[in-house]
Structure 1
């Protein structure tokens, strides 16, 4: 099988790479990280103007009808630049949920604006007690008149502090941890009863916890069929996992490159420390982990848009497990080979390490996906 990018995919990747190199150097990232917004509005607008926010959407919705491999091209370069913009949250996850389950009016209203970068979306699927289990939902939506009243709490909505629209899962029937009975709602973040507690995560991104206290929404806020959102959420979470895997590859490649360059220039006893065989062996180990992770990211990208199946889920869990483990290993080895400078604020390596660790813990860490993979094998 040929895994090389075709001409259009290569052009897409080159476009994003040029943007990141030209507009998003490390010093710029440090500066925008400190702003109230937490990311570069100018860079986000460029993503929209160049059509990069439209990549995965159907052509009739203003998109490019891009595949998982196209998304991988974008996410890898954004991972290489440690970009803080809410691309995955808005375009991949939020847009994906709307595209799969939304009504025609919801798609017409929201997807076109997501594709141009006008509309930012945050998604609240996890709760403090859920520990990666997206079926574990205690937030409830009770029917009331022509709509619903929603109460509950959602945790770690990256980009939620600036979202124009927030999508949340809520239970309309069933018991906690039942997949049946889950529904998906669109909420105005400025609505009465919505509270956002904003904070910065360890990798520099901004997020919030969402508190919903008797939040009233109309019937048109329901996305898809009442009580049937569980499968939609699981499917789109798989696409988000594939995007995270691609982002991790960009961050890992930069970590390996930074470490190799350091070993070539840092001298001890009058020679570059890269001459020492034991350090060469550790670089080989890092590259071996990277190559295996890269292969799994390609696998994840190729199955991301497949029909729902245990085989697809197994491939995505295998990829997330391998990439989570490899990312943590590369981050740790890179810092050890650098020594103290590896964790200084002014040097980029420590920031790559933090991002890789966060990627491991988003949508399930390596242990979670190993257990899930084993369970899916038994089920098959």
Structure 2
């Protein structure tokens, strides 16, 4: 498929861009909830507006009340979220969690709330300091007609606000996924403010009892569903990183056109022009890789997983370059809270770690290719 948007997708981009720049822009949302000390890190009113715009149903099939679109369309919304640093549970709830429930009996339980912008979902996968889904140690032991979950999870984005959390654990049969509701007995949730002012959580499971119906997918077959969830989350995070990097670049270029030094606009200095051109090229390559990954996922291609890792790694490195160049070209004021460029650097750091950093995905691709 060509690496550009169709007319319908371009219309969605224009709609999302206008909405995010208005209702979801930085001063109105991120700074507001951060400075207020909000325990959720986002506004539930804005989440309902996402639903009114139809965004929350992008990946939900039409038969279930959604729009029946794909990862390309979800990525369009996520890029605009990244461009405006809009705080919302869209990535975890309307992308990753929705993907987990496709074809599952849980869809009827949770899709209506997501479609209405009333339900927030989280993913509890990581247990150590880095993303390692292949090293899950949390246990789920049989108990009566259900299971008891014991262990700890961390870096659970929106975990403190979640109505339901998708939890990965080990059973006798193998890796299994569970949908655990927020009021489950024995579940302790500690909200933690992340570097970008969003709220993550550390979760402790002390013999948390769930019935057999809590299993998502097949017992012991969680790796199949988890792979689908991670591909959706990684591609979505890559799209959001493209938005973060693009906005940081635009902000920096605008600054170069205004700031004077030695009687000249600093944008006239050839060294800064070279660096800006290099940054633009890197972001465009990352955008193309991300769009290709989205298209392969929508096609159900067996090459999608490798391209997803390429996209996540490339988008992470390009976004990192964008925020670093932005702060440096702004000079000392780039590190002050008064200038938004620093907020983009913080968001970049969280998104780069979410679902695996560039080093993790570069290694993953190398192993897939036999190195």
Could you say which TM-score interval applies, normalised by the shorter chain?
A: over 0.9
What does the per-residue CA deviation read over 1:330-375, in whole Å, with 9 as the maximum and x for residues that have no partner? 2111111111111211211111111122222111111111111111
Match for residue 138 of structure 1? 137
Match for residue 282 of structure 1? 275
CA 1:150/1:208 → structure 2, altered by over 3 Å: closer, same or farther?
A: same
Match for residue 72 of structure 1? 75
Match for residue 2 of structure 1? 2
Give the distance between the partners of 1:6 and 1:124, measured in 2 at CA. Answer: 35
Contact 1:245 1:320 in 2 (8 A): yes
Contact 2:245 2:320 in 1 (8 A): no
Contact 1:68 1:303 in 2 (8 A): no
Give the distance between the partners of 2:288 and 2:226, measured in 1 at CA. Answer: 26
Contact 1:242 1:304 in 2 (8 A): no
What does the per-residue CA deviation read over 1:256-309, in whole Å, with 9 as the maximum and x for residues that have no partner? 111111111111111111111111111111112111111111112112234363
Contact 1:235 1:308 in 2 (8 A): no
Q: Out of 312, 320, 323, which is 1:328 matched to? A: 320
Match for residue 19 of structure 1? 19
Q: Is it true that 1:90 corresponds to 2:83 in the alignment?
A: no
Match for residue 237 of structure 2? 244
Contact 1:182 1:227 in 2 (8 A): yes
Contact 1:127 1:154 in 2 (8 A): yes
Matched residue SS, 2:279: helix
Match for residue 81 of structure 1? 84
Contact 2:25 2:86 in 1 (8 A): no
Shift of 1:162: 0.8
Give the distance between the partners of 1:353 and 1:300, measured in 2 at CA. Answer: 24
Contact 1:134 1:234 in 2 (8 A): no
Q: Is it true that 1:362 corresponds to 2:365 in the alignment?
A: no
Give the length in aligned residue pairs: 368
Q: Is it true that 1:189 corresponds to 2:182 in the alignment?
A: yes
Give the distance between the partners of 2:334 and 2:69, measured in 1 at CA. Answer: 37
Q: Which moved more, 1:320-329 or 1:4-13?
A: 4-13
Match for residue 152 of structure 2? 153
Shift of 1:324: 1.4
Contact 1:99 1:111 in 2 (8 A): no
What does the per-residue CA deviation read over 1:112-132, in whole Å, with 9 as the maximum and x for residues that have no partner? 221221211111011126x32
Contact 2:313 2:361 in 1 (8 A): yes
Match for residue 178 of structure 1? none
Please show how residues 1-380 of structure 1 align to structure 2 within 5 Å: 1-28=1-28, 29-33=30-34, 34-100=37-103, 102-103=104-105, 106-128=106-128, 131-173=130-172, 181-307=174-300, 309=302, 311-378=303-370
Q: Which runs of 5+ in 2 are unaligned?
A: none
Give the distance between the partners of 2:196 and 2:337, measured in 1 at CA. Answer: 12
Matched residue SS, 2:257: helix
Matched residue SS, 2:203: strand
Give the distance between the partners of 2:360 and 2:4, measured in 1 at CA. Answer: 31
Give the distance between the partners of 2:82 and 2:24, measured in 1 at CA. Answer: 11
- TM-score between the two structures when normalised by the length of structure 2: 0.95
Give the distance between the partners of 1:330 and 1:6, measured in 2 at CA. Answer: 27
Contact 2:97 2:121 in 1 (8 A): yes
- TM-align CA RMSD: 1.5
Give the distance between the partners of 2:247 and 2:107, measured in 1 at CA. Answer: 37
Q: Which moved more, 1:21-30 or 1:256-265?
A: 21-30
CA 1:308/1:151 → structure 2, altered by over 3 Å: closer, same or farther?
A: farther
Give the distance between the partners of 1:31 and 1:182, measured in 2 at CA. Answer: 40
Shift of 1:35: 2.0
Matched residue SS, 1:346: coil
What does the per-residue CA deviation read over 1:113-153, in whole Å, with 9 as the maximum and x for residues that have no partner? 21221211111011126x32212111111111111111011
- TM-score between the two structures when normalised by the length of structure 1: 0.93
Give the distance between the partners of 1:306 and 1:238, measured in 2 at CA. Answer: 13
Give the distance between the partners of 1:189 and 1:351, measured in 2 at CA. Answer: 30
